[in-house]
Amino acid sequence: MAIGEIRDFLDAHTPRLRSLEDRTRGEASPGATREALTELSLALEELRVSEEELRVQSDMLTDVQQALATERERYHGFFTHLPDACLVTDMAGVVREANRAAAELLGAREDALPGKPLAVFVAEDDRRDFRGRMLAGIPAGEAAEWTVRIHPRNAPPVRVQARVRVVREAASRNGLVWLFHQVLDGPVELAPGRGDASLMEAMLDALAAPACALDLDGTLLRWNRAAADALGWGPEMAGGACPVRFPGEEGGGDALLRTRERMDAVPAEVARGGQTVRLRACVAPLQSGGERLGTFITFSAETAEARPAEREDAEAILSQCRAALAEGTGAGSVYERLRTWIASGLHLGHLRPGSRLPSIRQVADAAGAEHRAVAAAYRTLAAEGLVEVRNRQGAFVAGNWDPAPPALGETAEWLAGVLEGASGLRIRVPQLSDVVARWTTSARIRCACIESVEDERAALVAEMAGQWGMDAFAVAPDRVRADGRGAPEALHGAELIVTTAFHATEAHAAGRSLGVPVLVLAAGAEMVQAAEEVLARGSLTAVVADPGYAVRLRFLRGSERLRVVLADDAAALASLAPAECVLLTPAARQRLGTDAPRMLVPLPSFVSRTPARTIAAFLIQHNLAPARRRD
């Protein structure tokens, strides 16, 4: 029984008991006395039950308080003994709390740090940038990360990786949690001599983060106290094989341990007590006088585990990259081969905006090229808008091509859904009712289709004209490249531009000069899936009009079993077996006419359902605009 219920019980019984008391005093009859005693007995029993319930609730509250106190001590101990430096500050960067590793990093006592601005411990050259980031604010719900140099008291500056997140400590009190991971500025130099073990040990112990040193064969030489505490390494580990694996690297990271360059934020795995601890590692060469002696590794307490699906995607993308670049070795520069592979992956659906691309080292190994050439290729692709290079994370497929569909009213949104469904069912827009026609065909959109390959160009024009009822016309990419004289003449009057991933850069530049939307369309997923399913079971013959389309088809999975025949090759067409699986492009069918072979692999819509929704929205908005102006 709660306190409120007891209060209600007493309020209800008090008048009754007073009434019985008055009656007992006025008439001392046996009946009145018996009734009063009965009422008192019932009230007393109720109070005893309430007392027992309150005692149980009090015991439960005591248990909860003890559990909270234990949990608080546990997390405080975790915070205190965390191997990486961790601080809690207010939103202005004034320290509220710091752990031991933070005190060691900053060169101050733990109890002396609260109340001090964190900026005073930042190296003077980095302080202005640090304060600028603080003034800009840290986005709520996100973790900001950057590299900064910390200048401890009575010690030279050290470079650290700072990770900061906003936390709510009370109802209206926000704060910042900082995690600092010390990283290496370059190769670790041992001086004066390579055999100075005490110098190596002193260097390891000077680091607050877990760290270790390996020899040239990957044998574990030494580690610091932080590594012993965090990873459970004991004396029996000395002289054993390297306990660190790098799952994202070939051979578990053997090549990484021989690198002469510093590598930051590398996913690593360390076995501990039958379990795998996932960390991030900073790997740097260990050398003396320029001579390589081994490898120096520092670890971050931040886990870096990737979901199984993400690991599978990364492995599949790396495998496709190796196959494409190895097959194309010698056919163009690294930039051209890399661009063709990425554009083909986007076009066939093997890559998507946001997909992580292989590292510079992985691409260099696959293409047999220098690292600098691959880095330059990625920078060029980033300038074109095909690739996005994120600081300290790598290269990703850019995801800013397609514009957001225009905002529509409720009825128009419903109609856009109808058109999207009609596209999936292969129902042509002109076949819909007169009401739908009034919303979709009263004003025809002039649509420019930019593509260099005839098969793709014909499919684009046929799709936009036949399926969507637009005035579609083909434009060669070389006619839309900027020449400094304003909008390209070839696109005069265009109200919408569609293209493929191969010409997105030119199309977007033209769209900006004309002020019209640009859509980058991919091959229909059904077509790609149908072709790859046939190739998985056996061979497939593709009849195409343009040799350039044959180059793109070789990026299909199983393309080693793909045979390409040009529509102009009469002898090859005559040799096709009646039961042979044939993929016939619209351009090839148009060239061959009645002589076209029977197509056993259907060629569905060129446009997948995702951009179809955006096209429908533009179509409706374009047709509604004149009616709204009249109203």
Asked whether residue 602 is domain-assigned, the answer is no
Phi, psi of 221 (to 5 degrees): -95, -60
From CA 70, how far away is CA 83, in angstroms rounded?
22
Q: Following DSSP, what letter does each residue of 303-352 receive, concatenated?
A: --PPPHHHHHHHHHHHHHHHHHHHHTTTSS-HHHHHHHHHHHHHHHTSS-
CATH of the domain at 329: 1.10.10.10
Which region holds residue 346: left if phi is over 0, alpha if psi is between -120 and 50, else beta?
A: alpha
CATH of the domain at 117: 3.30.450.20
Whose tokens are 């050439």? That residue is 373
Mark which of 357, 373, 397 sits at the end of a domain. Answer: 397
Tell me the C-alpha to C-alpha distance, in Å, between residue 462 and each of 26, 113, 465, 471, 585.
107, 70, 5, 10, 11
From CA 107, how far away is CA 122, in angstroms rounded?
12
pLDDT for 306 beyond 50: no
586 and 516 share one domain: no
Find the helix or strand (DSSP H, E) in which 231 lies: helix 225-231
Asked whether residue 262 is domain-assigned, the answer is yes
The parent domain of residue 57 ranges over 3-78
Mark which of 150, 182, 214 sits at the end of a domain. Answer: 182
Q: What is the mean pLDDT of residues 167-184?
A: 70
Whose tokens are 């009656």? That residue is 23
94 and 156 share one domain: yes
Give this prediction's pTM.
Answer: 0.47
pLDDT digits (tens, 9 = 90+) for 611-621: 777 888 888 88
Higher pLDDT, 260 or 218: 218
Asked whether residue 118 is domain-assigned, the answer is yes
Asked whether residue 604 is domain-assigned, the answer is no
285 and 217 share one domain: yes
Q: What is the mean pLDDT of residues 203-217?
A: 76
At 193 the pLDDT is: 44
Angle at 552 between CA 550 and CA 554, to 5 degrees: 75
pLDDT for 514 beyond 60: yes
Locate 377 and state its tokens. Answer: 């290729």
Mean pLDDT check: name the lowest of 201-205, 299-303, 440-444: 299-303
292 and 237 share one domain: yes
Closest CA to 226 of 84, 99, 77, 98: 84
453 and 506 share one domain: yes
pLDDT digits (tens, 9 = 90+) for 423-460: 776 667 666 665 566 767 778 889 999 999 999 998 89
Pairing of strands 244-245, 158-170: unpaired
Asked whether residue 601 is domain-assigned, the answer is no
Q: How many residues appear in the chain?
A: 631
pLDDT digits (tens, 9 = 90+) for 81-131: 566 778 888 888 888 888 887 888 888 888 888 888 888 888 888 888 888
614 and 514 share one domain: yes
Whether the CB-CB separation of 255 and 364 falls below 8 Å is answered with no
Asked whether residue 405 is domain-assigned, the answer is no
pLDDT for 21 beyond 70: no
Asked whether residue 403 is domain-assigned, the answer is no
Whether the CB-CB separation of 135 and 142 falls below 8 Å is answered with no
89 and 135 share one domain: yes
DSSP-derived letter for residue 356 is: B
Whether the CB-CB separation of 343 and 522 falls below 8 Å is answered with no
Report the share of the chain in percent with pLDDT over 70: 65
Q: What is the mean pLDDT of residues 542-559?
A: 90
Report the share of the chain in percent with pLDDT over 90: 6
From CA 387, how far away is CA 259, in angstroms rounded?
26
Upstream peptide bond of 192 is cis (omega within 30 degrees of 0): yes
From CA 10, how far away is CA 383, in angstroms rounded?
79
195 and 280 share one domain: yes
At 304 the pLDDT is: 35
Asked whether residue 565 is domain-assigned, the answer is yes
519 and 529 share one domain: no
376 and 237 share one domain: no
Domain count, the chain: 6
pLDDT for 279 beyond 90: no
**363-378 burial string, b = 16+ CB within 10 Å, else e?**
bbbbbebeeebbbebb
From CA 591, how far away is CA 356, in angstroms rounded?
40
Higher pLDDT, 277 or 66: 277
201 and 291 share one domain: yes
At 333 the pLDDT is: 85
At 450 the pLDDT is: 93
Which region holds residue 431: left if phi is over 0, alpha if psi is between -120 and 50, else beta?
A: alpha
Q: What is the mean pLDDT of residues 239-249?
A: 76
Mean pLDDT check: name the lowest of 133-137, 413-417, 428-432, 459-463: 428-432
pLDDT for 468 beyond 70: yes
At 308 the pLDDT is: 45
Mean pLDDT check: name the lowest of 82-91, 404-413, 492-501, 585-594: 404-413
- Kindly report the number of other CB atoms within 10 A of residue 558's CB atom: 16
CATH of the domain at 487: 3.40.50
514 and 453 share one domain: yes
DSSP-derived letter for residue 170 is: E
From CA 162, how far away is CA 145, in angstroms rounded?
6
Mark which of 156, 182, 208 sits at the end of a domain. Answer: 182
